[in-house]
Structure 1
């Protein structure tokens, strides 16, 4: 009796093929040879995970130039049942492409994803000062839109290598204002058990302030500071129910199974009316957290043992 073939795991990502998101997904070893599903927006990618249509989704979460991807942050804050299981860094650069025969002097309308356009604005203003920007849903879609005659696009901002996917000519390389720009992507699945610490981890969460008063944010941040937990990201996003109400997107060095991080999260949970734990996962840069000896795991355990012995009336040796 023949065995049924094992089901391929499905991964959703912002398509079409050739995007930076696909480049991030290529870094996921367990995704190689599996079913890759290109989608048109981040909401669709995460909905695939929630409904079970996909096992995981790769989404952009932060850019070294423009900061957090607010759409992704808001979706992770409001869609229950999601967990970040990995992060990946992709260097970001762009080329200017057009259909064969079009020259730089012919260009007046340029398609590009808004984030990409912002990063290439200086070059474009210098090369074609009177150009008009037409937003695209992705960097690759900008190139695809060149062949939509109804849009009247002359050129597109696209990722390097786009000529392997479309019949375009590269008119200029290295458009980005900052050659060191990097986008951070995260792989998101449904809620799964937390893995073990690697020694170079990151923990992500979203927390609301307990009340609108002086010092409320300081109280939240002190939960980390007093336990020696460094934050790599702190961003505010409006909750949306009324003016002046915000939630905070937090990335902290360390793993929830590290004593100092766990103790900090307990403090956050006590002081915040709504905490969304997004995940503890290996850092893409593999940088280990630095902390003082007083915040070592053994120090937390020794302190708990001491307290238990005090309560139980155990005589100190």
Structure 2
């Protein structure tokens, strides 16, 4: 049976690369591009596709708020897998613009994350260029390719340059080393068939409003059980100023006795706990095969 997978398109985005990586061992896969992250998640919610692959965090720029907010507030879809993938940004332009001095470049297009990850490099190389945001890095590459007469450039993956036949002006344009992004695969279906020895559980924890020290006790429930937390972040509940929930990632599957004990203890404090997913974690280096996740 064919699996339909939504991803943040068009072809050539980092999310496209993540989707092809996660489902590389699957047969009969159809990758379907969508213009925004909400569109990807809504496609699964409305059963237009079976899966969606979306970015959730970057090592330099932090969380992708659109993904977190839609998973929490707008759809009810379990997280089924996580992929950590190295991000290498390229500055690219149409072949007609090769050799143009940097001070003559008028615009640079990319997804906001792409611009932010390369902003020091862009300021140095193209000091007068206006930074224009697009829905994806591949959309930026497509825009530049369709306007060969304009002194415009794009920032994105090498795959986008190849897809739209652009010249790469600079590889590794990101300002910092160890630039990794985290992607989620969400679905009502079961977990991916690829094996992984590493699992996480994502929780949404909402504290009682009249319980001083509640967050400390929530963290203590994991601490004394020696459950490693890999991510904790506060996000607004959208019910009023100062009202927050916590997104917590714990490095154990939800069925583990220590995770079950921690959840029961947190609920006994009067907290609301929602399990957002319990899933295998994968890590991929450029040019290497998919492996169980490790600390990066």
The 8 Å contact of residues 11 and 160 in structure 2, kept in 1 or not, is answered as: no
The count of residues paired between Structure 1 and Structure 2 equals: 282
Q: Secondary structure at the match of 1:18?
A: coil
The match for 1:51 is 46
Q: How far apart, in 2, do the equivalents of 1:287 and 1:98 lie?
A: 35
The match for 1:18 is 12
The match for 1:79 is 74
Q: How far apart, in 1, do the equivalents of 2:60 and 2:136 lie?
A: 17
Q: Go from structure 1 to structure 2 and tell me whether the alpha carbon gap of 1:25 and 1:231 turns closer, same or farther (over 3 Å shift).
A: same
Tell me how far 1:161 sits from its aligned partner: 2.7
**Counterpart mapping for 1:88-107 below 5 A:** 88-102=83-97, 103-105=99-101, 106-107=104-105
The match for 1:67 is 62
Task: Answer 1 or 2: which has greater helix percent.
Answer: 1
Q: Secondary structure at the match of 2:78?
A: strand
Q: How far apart, in 2, do the equivalents of 1:194 and 1:271 lie?
A: 34
The 8 Å contact of residues 50 and 81 in structure 1, kept in 2 or not, is answered as: yes
Does 2:140 match 1:145? no
Tell me how far 1:193 sits from its aligned partner: 8.5
Q: TM-score, normalised by structure 2?
A: 0.87
Q: How far apart, in 1, do the equivalents of 2:151 and 2:273 lie?
A: 45
Q: Go from structure 1 to structure 2 and tell me whether the alpha carbon gap of 1:246 and 1:194 turns closer, same or farther (over 3 Å shift).
A: farther
Larger Rg belongs to: 1
Q: How far apart, in 2, do the equivalents of 1:139 and 1:32 lie?
A: 27
**1:39 counterpart (34, 38, 54):** 34
The 8 Å contact of residues 110 and 156 in structure 2, kept in 1 or not, is answered as: yes
Q: Go from structure 1 to structure 2 and tell me whether the alpha carbon gap of 1:155 and 1:27 turns closer, same or farther (over 3 Å shift).
A: same
Question: C-alpha offsets along residues 210-240 of structure 1, whole Å, 9 cap, x if unaligned?
Answer: 1155412112212211222110000111111
Q: Secondary structure at the match of 2:217?
A: helix
Question: C-alpha offsets along residues 159-183 of structure 1, whole Å, 9 cap, x if unaligned?
Answer: 1132321132212211001132000
The 8 Å contact of residues 208 and 272 in structure 1, kept in 2 or not, is answered as: no
**1:124 counterpart (98, 122, 125):** 122
Query: Unpaired runs of 5+ in structure 2?
Result: 284-291
**Counterpart mapping for 1:229-244 below 5 A:** 229-244=227-242
The 8 Å contact of residues 84 and 293 in structure 2, kept in 1 or not, is answered as: no
Tell me how far 1:287 sits from its aligned partner: 5.6
Query: Unpaired runs of 5+ in structure 1?
Result: 1-6, 290-317
Tell me how far 1:14 sits from its aligned partner: 0.4
Q: Secondary structure at the match of 2:261?
A: helix
Q: How far apart, in 2, do the equivalents of 1:255 and 1:263 lie?
A: 12
Tell me how far 1:88 sits from its aligned partner: 0.9
Tell me how far 1:30 sits from its aligned partner: 4.8
Q: Secondary structure at the match of 1:228?
A: coil
Tell me how far 1:273 sits from its aligned partner: 4.5
The match for 2:267 is 269
Q: Secondary structure at the match of 1:233?
A: strand
Q: How far apart, in 2, do the equivalents of 1:194 and 1:26 lie?
A: 13
The 8 Å contact of residues 46 and 57 in structure 1, kept in 2 or not, is answered as: yes
Question: C-alpha offsets along residues 248-269 of structure 1, whole Å, 9 cap, x if unaligned?
Answer: 1110011112110111122223
RMSD, aligned α-carbons: 2.5
Larger relative CO (CA 8 A, sep 6+): 1 or 2? 2
